[in-house]
A and B are shown apart, each in its own frame.
Chain A
Amino acid sequence: MSDFLSMLSRPLHPLSAHWVVAPILLPLFTGAMMLLMREERRRIKAAINIGSTFLGLLLSVALLLWVDDQGTVGSIGIYLPGNWQAPYGIVLAVDRLSAMMLVLASTVALGSVVFAAARWHRAGVHYHPLFQFQLMGLCGAFLTADLFNLFVFFEILLAASYGLLLHGSGRLRVKAGLHYIAINLGASSLFLIGVSMLYGVTGTLNMADLAQKIPLVADADRGLLHASAAILAVAFLAKAAIWPLNFWLVPAYSTATAPVGALFAIMSKVGIYTILRLWTLLFSAEAGASAAFGGHWLVAGGLATLAFGAIGMLGSQKLGNLAGFAVIVSSGTLLAAIGFGQTGLTAGALYYLLSSTLAASALFMLVDLVERWRNAGASIAPHELSDDAPFLSATLEYEAGMNLDDEEEILIGKAIPAATAFLGLGFMCCTLLLTGLPPLSGFVGKFAILSALLNPLGLGVAGGSAPGLAGWTLLVMLITSGLLGLIAMSRAGIRHFWAAHDRGVPQLRLAEGLPVAGLLLACMLLTVQAGSVMRYVQATADSLHTPASYIEAVMGAQPRLSPAAAAAPKATP
């Protein structure tokens, strides 16, 4: 296994700088190519989509292994697309955190696209290109090292997500989509205001350069700097679904088609990622008077989000809402844990991020299978059947091949007798993962957070400071939210699995069971490999909280001279 992995990362070395841009270019080209193909060629498109996403996963794993070169402190890959030096040109950077997010996004995306290829991609047009553009936006947001490109990639990601959210259409989706788009457009305006204010104060948009400039900001301008950071943070916190800004999330995620919901599980984590990246970079210990600015707001917001999510889970009648609130709970936990600004806690939070995203994604797909079983094979919930799909004009009507009913079952897959057992087991795994019960990775993640709260210096070392009021609150709320989640999930489980006597065996296709099983297996792998994953996230957290090496790598990246210029003697400008 490790031989294979090292083989995967080895070819990256000589051309390393150029591989950094590959996770953005791959989906861009795949998506653009698929736009040129006729809509009827769905089978080919699906195959290309799955292949490209799988390739993207391999690529991100290779980048991760390369970045995590254990001999060095942590190699950071820098790519200068315009061949201009750092503060002036566009910079892409991949470090441990970016690489981890890339792998996570590709894993979730692979699960989602396989699931969609079974039936959901036929519910509307242009599913596959949109999916690839969404991936492109995600990868770009994780890789970019300057704020304005972050905005551009955010907009790419959002534009594709609007399309995906409306995929399949129907009144409920359009209604939820309208709110989702309006809120995100508002948040984008805030993003722009924050970015331009930050530029007005510091004169740069490169994140590493910003980190260097912030200690130099005059005291008179510090208020302005903090205001701009706060405005920027509100934009990201709306994406990350913090409490007063998250009422759009549950309707949008639960009305989206199942594979889209599964992919969206990573979307709120983009908000978390940017907050973690910018906050640790701009307001690190070296930031002088601005060090750790706003940390207690993150903690407070996170705790409020956690409470809201837990109560929401308890109140959910629909399974889809349950999954949506599970995403909110995970956002709240992450924000609160990150806000403390301790390396141990951040490491625990990063592990929890991996586990909870995979679990939430699996739950979204599982919910679809369970609901379909409940509705006796109907792929669309009964309350959506009455509405016409507005985007299906005369040429794009539901044709015979688009029939989503059971008649096609024989052609594509067959019923697995153990389907009920699979659904039940899958639901149980999701419950264990999301509520943080042993033995799965949800428990490991929560345990890492709790132990870092109680022993900031590490297990077995006495003399660490006590958690304090915020720490104790987080501790109590983490455990309570787990309990509430458990109550909600077992209630839903009883209603959907034990009270199912006259419903028959669910029709389950291999292509739909596979991604759910795969994501759950990935969680189990996280549990089995907890030691090495914890080492990785600990190293990630360490480098996040001492950003000097990141700044040095970005600012020190030298543009490549053209062969002619390299041969010629140094010319004066």
Chain B
Amino acid sequence: MELMLSLAIGVLTGSGIWLLLRPRTFQVIMGLSLLSYAVNLFMFSMGRLSIDREPVLVAGVPLNLLHYDDPIPQALVLTAIVIGFAMTALFLVVMMASRGLSGTDHVDGAESGE
């Protein structure tokens, strides 16, 4: 599981950064999205990976962290997802405004050849 998760995070981060450095705004926003997925997965993994642990208190299970999942990373991820979603929406609006004003989807607002 560790290998799977780290591979997934690695691939997402790598593709995200690659796309982020591309010259078109659509690629940039896709890159930012992939990067934020990678970050969210990474945050999950920082709460230690575990199988078969309860996320909330259950009757009959001893009250210590050996038997429960760490709730804090989940709270962090939830917040980060909400904020990331809002920021992506905002970025999309700015992107469209830029496209409308400059007539091109190049991040510099002008084709490099001109």
Instruction: Kindly list chain A residues whose C-beta atoms are within 8 Å of the C-beta of B54.
Output: none
B42 near A196 with CB under 8 A, answer: yes
When chains A and B are docked, how far (Å) is the Cα of A148 from the Cα of B109? 35
From B87, B95, B97, contact of A169 by CB (8 A)? B97
From residue 1 to 44 of chain B, which have CB atoms closer than 8 A to chain A? 20, 25, 28, 32, 35-36, 39, 42-43
A193 near B94 with CB under 8 A, answer: no
A178 near B35 with CB under 8 A, answer: no
Q: Which residues of B contact A (CB under 8 A)?
A: 20, 25, 28, 32, 35-36, 39, 42-43, 45-48, 72-73, 76, 79-80, 83-84, 86-87, 90-91, 94-95, 97-98, 100-102, 107-109
Given the known A-B contacts A159-B90, A162-B94, A199-B73, are A186 and B32 also in contact in the complex, defined by CB atoms under 8 Å?
yes
A178 near B25 with CB under 8 A, answer: yes
Instruction: Kindly list chain B residues whose C-beta atoms are within 8 Å of the C-beta of A166.
Output: 94, 97
Shortest Cβ distance from A504 into chain B, in angstroms?
33
B72 near A205 with CB under 8 A, answer: yes
When chains A and B are docked, how far (Å) is the Cα of A158 from the Cα of B91? 12
Judge if A375 is at the interface, Cβ distance under 8 Å.
Answer: no
Closest residue to B87 on the A side, CB-wise? A185
From A181, A188, A196, A387, contact of B43 by CB (8 A)? A196
A155 near B87 with CB under 8 A, answer: yes
Closest residue to A180 on the B side, CB-wise? B94
When chains A and B are docked, how far (Å) is the Cα of A188 from the Cα of B36? 9
B76 near A178 with CB under 8 A, answer: no
Given the known A-B contacts A181-B94, A388-B101, are A200 and B46 also in contact in the complex, defined by CB atoms under 8 Å?
yes
What secondary structure prevails in chain A residues at the interface with B? helix
From B20, B36, B80, B97, contact of A174 by CB (8 A)? B97
Instruction: Kindly list chain B residues whose C-beta atoms are within 8 Å of the C-beta of A185.
Output: 32, 36, 87, 91
When chains A and B are docked, how far (Å) is the Cα of A185 from the Cα of B85? 11
Closest residue to A154 on the B side, CB-wise? B83
When chains A and B are docked, how far (Å) is the Cα of A178 from the Cα of B108? 9
When chains A and B are docked, how far (Å) is the Cα of A391 from the Cα of B94? 10
Closest residue to B72 on the A side, CB-wise? A199
Judge if A189 is at the interface, Cβ distance under 8 Å.
Answer: yes
A186 near B35 with CB under 8 A, answer: yes
| A interface bracket (residues with beta carbon within 8 Å of B) | 20 to 34
When chains A and B are docked, how far (Å) is the Cα of A281 from the Cα of B39? 26
Closest residue to B17 on the A side, CB-wise? A186
Given contacts A182-B91, A189-B35, A390-B97, 12 further A-B contacts (CB under 8 A): A162-B90, A169-B97, A170-B101, A174-B109, A175-B98, A188-B87, A192-B80, A193-B42, A199-B72, A200-B48, A205-B72, A391-B97
Q: Which 10 A-B pairs have the closest CB atoms?
A: A200-B46, A196-B43, A196-B46, A175-B109, A171-B101, A390-B97, A174-B98, A192-B39, A155-B83, A174-B97
Judge if A197 is at the interface, Cβ distance under 8 Å.
Answer: yes
From A151, A158, A170, A197, contact of B46 by CB (8 A)? A197
B102 near A177 with CB under 8 A, answer: no
Judge if A195 is at the interface, Cβ distance under 8 Å.
Answer: yes
Judge if A376 is at the interface, Cβ distance under 8 Å.
Answer: no
Given the known A-B contacts A175-B98, A200-B46, A391-B97, are A195 and B86 also in contact in the complex, defined by CB atoms under 8 Å?
no
When chains A and B are docked, how far (Å) is the Cα of A188 from the Cα of B81? 12
A193 near B90 with CB under 8 A, answer: no
Judge if A152 is at the interface, Cβ distance under 8 Å.
Answer: yes
Given the known A-B contacts A175-B108, A189-B35, are A196 and B73 also in contact in the complex, defined by CB atoms under 8 Å?
yes
Instruction: Kindly list chain A residues whose C-beta atoms are within 8 Å of the C-beta of B32.
Output: 182, 185-186, 189
B94 near A178 with CB under 8 A, answer: yes
Shortest Cβ distance from A133 into chain B, in angstroms?
13
- 5 example contacts (A-B, Cβ-Cβ < 8 A) are as follows A148-B79, A175-B108, A192-B39, A195-B76, A196-B39
B87 near A175 with CB under 8 A, answer: no
Q: Which of A159, A186, A197, A205 has the most CB of B within 10 A?
A: A186
When chains A and B are docked, how far (Å) is the Cα of A166 from the Cα of B25? 17
Instruction: Kindly list chain B residues whose C-beta atoms are within 8 Å of the C-beta of A171.
Output: 101-102, 109
Shortest Cβ distance from B105 into chain A, in angstroms?
11
From residue 189 to 219 of chain A, which have CB atoms closer than 8 A to chain B? 189, 192-193, 195-197, 199-200, 205
B46 near A186 with CB under 8 A, answer: no
B39 near A189 with CB under 8 A, answer: yes
B91 near A174 with CB under 8 A, answer: no
Judge if A179 is at the interface, Cβ distance under 8 Å.
Answer: yes
Instruction: Kindly list chain B residues whose C-beta atoms are within 8 Å of the C-beta of A179.
Output: 107
Q: Which of A178, A179, A199, A387 has the most CB of B within 10 A?
A: A178
From residue 144 to 184 of chain A, which have CB atoms closer than 8 A to chain B? 148, 151-152, 155, 158-159, 162, 166, 169-171, 174-175, 177-179, 181-182
Instruction: Kindly list chain A residues whose C-beta atoms are within 8 Å of the C-beta of B72.
Output: 199, 205
Instruction: Kindly list chain A residues whose C-beta atoms are within 8 Å of the C-beta of B97.
Output: 166, 169, 174, 390-391
Instruction: Kindly list chain A residues whose C-beta atoms are within 8 Å of the C-beta of B100.
Output: 390
Shortest Cβ distance from B66 into chain A, in angstroms?
14
A181 near B102 with CB under 8 A, answer: no
Instruction: Kindly list chain B residues whose C-beta atoms are within 8 Å of the C-beta of A193.
Output: 39, 42
Instruction: Kindly list chain B residues whose C-beta atoms are within 8 Å of the C-beta of A390.
Output: 97, 100-101
Shortest Cβ distance from A134 into chain B, in angstroms?
14
When chains A and B are docked, how far (Å) is the Cα of A200 from the Cα of B46? 5
When chains A and B are docked, how far (Å) is the Cα of A387 from the Cα of B103? 12
B91 near A181 with CB under 8 A, answer: yes
From B73, B84, B94, B101, contact of A387 by CB (8 A)? B101
When chains A and B are docked, how far (Å) is the Cα of A358 from the Cα of B102? 35
Instruction: Kindly list chain B residues whose C-beta atoms are within 8 Å of the C-beta of A387.
Output: 101
Instruction: Kindly list chain A residues whose C-beta atoms are within 8 Å of the C-beta of B87.
Output: 155, 158-159, 181, 185, 188
